[in-house]
A = this chain, B = another copy of it.
Amino acid sequence: MATRVTSADVARAAGVSRATVSYVLNNRLDARVTEATREHVLDTARRLGYHGSPAARALRAGRGEIVMLLLPEWNTAGEVGRALREIGRQTTALGLACLRYEGPEWRQRLASLLGMVTAAAVVTFEPLTTEDQEAVAGAGIPEIRAWFLDSPGEPHTTQIDQASVVLTQIDHLMDRGIRELAFVAAEETHDQGFAEARLAAFQTICRERGLRNDRILSVDDDLTELVERLRVWSEDSGRLGVVAFSDFTAVGVLSAAQAAGLQVPAELAVIGVDDARFASLTRPPLTTIKLDLMNEAIAVARKLAAALELPVPEADSQRSPLSVIVRSTT
């Protein structure tokens, strides 16, 4: 195994001092270096295959180059995944490395984690425990909050809130002339906070519009209860509109609707969220909401750059954060 090649090696090979090498590699314009030697150093560095030691640089600079994303156990298949990739891209453009830490394990172990990773900043997607908050503060690292989910008592930092997702769903159903609504969530361990926020929004919006807001159900693997409820609900209303928590849930609703003998979309309309991969493969193809979190991703990158005193990237022009993908279930 070839031992690491250091800047001293480069200096020796190029016949200059180590300081000069450092100046050239970090191309500091204020240090006066002849163009000839600059080229020479750059060339030998490349020839020797020099890559600086991140540890040494971090030690010297007092700050690392890693941006650590502390992810809850989310499903990253859909738009959330796309947003995370965009954050990664932006971070790379800032000259930093974007790494993810996933799983529930970090919840009280952040201190030991930060004792192993020389992070430049930490990006959170949920409130931290006070203990963890102290850990990140003790490490002298900024915490960037990318909370896509509104959190009680905290000013929300992104433009898309869960309420407007539900609002868009309801608006679409009402545009189709439907005034009898129901909300179906999923019994899941993940994304529980999202489900609660959406449910609350559903109830509020319905109340404001003078609609019934008590048709609510959580569905698990067993669909029998859902079948029963759909039957009852649609008996006392002309045409039922189901606001599904996600496309997964919507699949369950479709199955239950058939079992209940309800025609989709004639007697029962469904609208999901996330435009999952299988949404176009259901029967009938699923109408759903597509989120666009790019603005949020860029917002995160801007906060990051500001906190680290780096050049702040431009905000993208107006993009519509929510759009309805109309297929055949509404």
Contacts and interface: CB of A to CB of B under 8 A. Distances in A.
A97 B76 contact: no
A105 B117 contact: no
Interface stretch (A34-42, A50-58, A235-243): A50-58
Nearest to A254: B283
A65 B116 contact: yes
Contact of A105 (B89, B96, B101, B281): B89
Contacts of A96: 116
A105 B92 contact: yes
Interface string A122-166: 000000000000110111100000000000000000000000000
A50 to B, nearest CB: 9
Name which of A3, A51, A65 has the most chain B CB atoms within 10 A of its CB. A51
**What number of copies of this chain does the assembly contain?**
2
Name which of A115, A116, A283 has the most chain B CB atoms within 10 A of its CB. A116
Interface string A200-234: 00000000000000000001010100000000000
A99 interface: yes
A107 interface: no
Contacts of A4: 62, 139-140
A15 interface: no
A280 B140 contact: no
Contact of A140 (B3, B109, B116, B254): B3
B114 A99 contact: no
A212 to B, nearest CB: 26
A266 interface: no
Interface string A98-116: 1111110100010101111
B99 A101 contact: yes
B281 A258 contact: no
7 contacts: A59-B59, A66-B117, A76-B77, A88-B105, A221-B280, A221-B281, A258-B283
A75 interface: yes
Contact of A100 (B99, B109, B116, B221): B99
Given A77-B77, A114-B51, A223 B281 contact: yes
A218 to B, nearest CB: 13
A240 to B, nearest CB: 19
